[in-house]
Amino acid sequence: MQLYKSQELKIYNSLTGEKEIFKPINEGHIGMYVCGPTVYSNVHLGNVRTFMSFDVIFRYLKHLGYKVRYVRNITDAGHLENDADVGEDKITKKARLEQIEPMEVVQRYTVDFHNILNTLNFLPPSIEPTATGHIIEQIELINTIIENGFAYVVNGSVYFDVHKFNETNNYGKLSKRKLDDLIHNTRELDGQSDKKNPQDFALWKKAEPQHIMRWPSPWGDGFPGWHLECTAMSTKYLGETFDIHGGGMDLKFPHHECEIAQNEAALGKSPVNYWMHANMLEMNGQRMSKSTGNIINPNELLSGNNDKMSKAYSPSVIRFFMAQSSYRSVLDLTDAGLLASEKGYNRLMEAISMLPKLKASSTSSINIGNWQQKCYDAMNDDFNTPILIANLFEGAKYINQVKEGSAKLTVDDLELLQNSLNTFIFDVLGLLKDEETQSGSDKLSGAVDVLIKLRHEARANKDFALSDKIRDELAEVGIVLKDGKDGTTFTVN
Ligand code: AMP
Ligand code: ZN
């Protein structure tokens, strides 16, 4: 169904700073590129939040009937430490520390990334290209940028000439930075002396003899710059100008700014019509980030095996928690927030399970069509998932009212309510129908609680052999008891 013909979608465009009516380049089709992970360590929940924001966006665009080509890359080379043009390649460093091949690092963490995303019910992108699979395209792009006079070669490396580019173009238009201010604020770092100006960035770096990840090029053995892969792959799969480019807010500068500069320098065109930036996940008021160690991994949250949260949370509760704030707001991950989301999610699921049992009336006292449009309006307003969820709770309230007899719905309206709830909850927000696993895990908790009680009784009777036996045998099947000041809790490994 081509729902997009009857729904007016607005997207906040980071380039213009405004919510704009969305119009794709080719009617009915959308090209969307999202910067993927650098696969040098396990993904943390911050990474997951950004990808989940775009998963929900992808799901809604598909629901509207668009044919979406969603490209999300894997960065498996070229991303140096500090995100600048100095330091060791993140993947090579991990390989050196673990004494394995760089491609083993890539494989290990790509598999981890996919496992997590599968568990959390992500839809796979249409194409998932890698930087190392597109070295030839990147070399071609550099050649064009050199030919057009916007890059220069020094000692086997190639740098983008930001100052030259800015004479005819606007470097900083996405991040709203001025080159003059950048010049003022940049300190010259050691090892950057090959560059004409510190603001220039690497398109190709010469590989020192010890650098393992290297490819031959017209300028000698080396490896591509980090910003270049996204330009090469987005252009290859989505065209010189495409509809939507997304990523985390932290990528706006320099990464996305450099992508724009590379496209304009090579092809004379701005690459993207709508730039979208997802905001950061924080914990204790501080951005979740590998470098500060302020992280929690999805598996730790799913198993409850961490010292930050009181219990384990299901994939649906994690998704629901994230959808309860707008993708453009900062979100703080807290146990209280997750507990509240769990309650909310259970409330929705209970309402849905009651729906088939409701009795229809000959007339309706609620306008379900209006309510359904309010759900669309929320998503059409720059994918406003918290407002959508407020409307879903309104739908759950109708179910309770019909059940109690304080409201009436016809057969058709009951069906419309049911279909809309299913669409938004499962197809668009991507929550799972995990009532069964839910009740399964409730039964498991109940059974373990019985054993915990027996163990306490055994201890009270000084039967330590029995209490240890209960603890050890549970541990053997992966259920670990933790004695704390507020009693005994357990985690499932
Ligand atoms: P990286 O693997 O570091 O290149 O990051 C992969 C993606 O995760 C990028 O789009 C980042 O913007 C995003 N990201 C990193 N940290 C966070 C965070 N704390 N909250 C939301 N997104 C994040
Ligand atoms: Zn990118």
In this predicted structure, what is the pLDDT of residue 192? 53
Instruction: Please check the confidence at residue 104 and state whether its pLDDT lies above 70.
Output: yes
* 3-state DSSP of 236-277: HHHCCCEEEEEEEHHHHHHHHHHHHHHHHHHHCCCCEEEEEE
Report whether 137 belongs to an annotated binding site: no
Residue nearest atom 14 of ligand 1, based on CA coordinates: 47
In this predicted structure, what is the pLDDT of residue 441? 58
Q: Are 202 and 161 in contact (CB under 8 A)?
A: no
Instruction: Please check the confidence at residue 435 and state whether its pLDDT lies above 60.
Output: no
Nearest to 45 by CA among 237, 236, 289, 313: 289
Cα 180 to averaged position of ligand 2 atoms, centre (Å): 25
Instruction: Please check the confidence at residue 436 and state whether its pLDDT lies above 50.
Output: no
The reply to whether ligand 1 has any atom less than 6 angstroms from the CB of 42 is no
Instruction: Please check the confidence at residue 257 and state whether its pLDDT lies above 80.
Output: yes
At 89 the three-state DSSP class reads: strand
Q: How many CB atoms lie within 10 A of CB 291?
A: 9
Instruction: Please check the confidence at residue 410 and state whether its pLDDT lies above 60.
Output: yes
Nearest to 276 by CA among 13, 6, 1: 13
Higher pLDDT, 83 or 395: 395
Report whether 255 belongs to an annotated binding site: yes
In this predicted structure, what is the pLDDT of residue 83? 62
Listed as own residue / partner, the contacts of 337-341 with beta carbons closer than 8 Å and 24 or more positions apart are 338/301, 338/309, 338/313, 339/310, 341/317
490 contacts: CB under 8 Å, gap ≥ 6 = 448, 452, 474, 479, 480, 481, 482
- pLDDT one-digit tens code per residue, 371-388: 999 999 999 999 999 999
The number of the ligand 1 atom at minimal distance from the alpha carbon of 40 is: 2
- pLDDT one-digit tens code per residue, 445-488: 778 888 888 888 898 899 998 888 888 888 888 888 888 776 78
In this predicted structure, what is the pLDDT of residue 85? 75
Instruction: Please check the confidence at residue 127 and state whether its pLDDT lies above 90.
Output: yes
Question: What ligand is nearest to the CA atom of residue 333?
Answer: 1
CA angle (73 as vertex; 69, 79 as ends), nearest 5: 155
Amino acid in position 400: N
As a whole number, the mean pLDDT across the chain is 93
The number of the ligand 1 atom at minimal distance from the alpha carbon of 39 is: 2
pLDDT band for position 437 (cuts 50, 70, 90): very low
The reply to whether ligand 1 has any atom less than 6 angstroms from the CB of 80 is no
3-state helix, strand, coil in the chain (%, to 5): 50, 15, 35
Report whether 375 belongs to an annotated binding site: no
**Which residue's structure tokens are 């050196």?**
96
Region 296-315: what's the mean pLDDT? Answer: 96
| Cα 447 to Cα 24, 235, 369, 459, distances in angstroms | 54, 56, 45, 19
Taking the whole predicted model, whether its pTM rises above 0.85 is answered as: yes
In this predicted structure, what is the pLDDT of residue 443? 63
Q: Report the alpha-carbon distance of residue 465 to residue 448 in Å, rounded.
A: 18
The reply to whether ligand 1 has any atom less than 6 angstroms from the CB of 50 is yes
Amino acid in position 11: I
| Token pair for 65 | 């009937």
- % of residues, the chain, pLDDT over 70: 95
The number of the ligand 1 atom at minimal distance from the alpha carbon of 49 is: 21
Could you tell me the domains of the chain?
3-278 (3.40.50.620), 318-437 (1.20.120.640), 440-492 (no CATH)
Higher pLDDT, 355 or 440: 355
Region 324-337: what's the mean pLDDT? Answer: 98
Cα 230 to averaged position of ligand 2 atoms, centre (Å): 5
pLDDT band for position 364 (cuts 50, 70, 90): very high
| Token pair for 274 | 């709508």
Region 405-415: what's the mean pLDDT? Answer: 98
Cα 295 to averaged position of ligand 2 atoms, centre (Å): 22
**Angle at which helices 385-404 and 315-323 cross, to 10°:** 110
Cα 68 to averaged position of ligand 2 atoms, centre (Å): 19
- pLDDT one-digit tens code per residue, 64-101: 999 999 999 999 987 887 666 777 888 988 998 999 99
DSSP element (H, E) containing 283: strand 281-283
Instruction: Please check the confidence at residue 213 and state whether its pLDDT lies above 60.
Output: yes
- pLDDT one-digit tens code per residue, 166-209: 999 999 999 999 898 888 776 655 455 689 999 999 999 999 88
Nearest to 35 by CA among 256, 253, 265, 223: 256
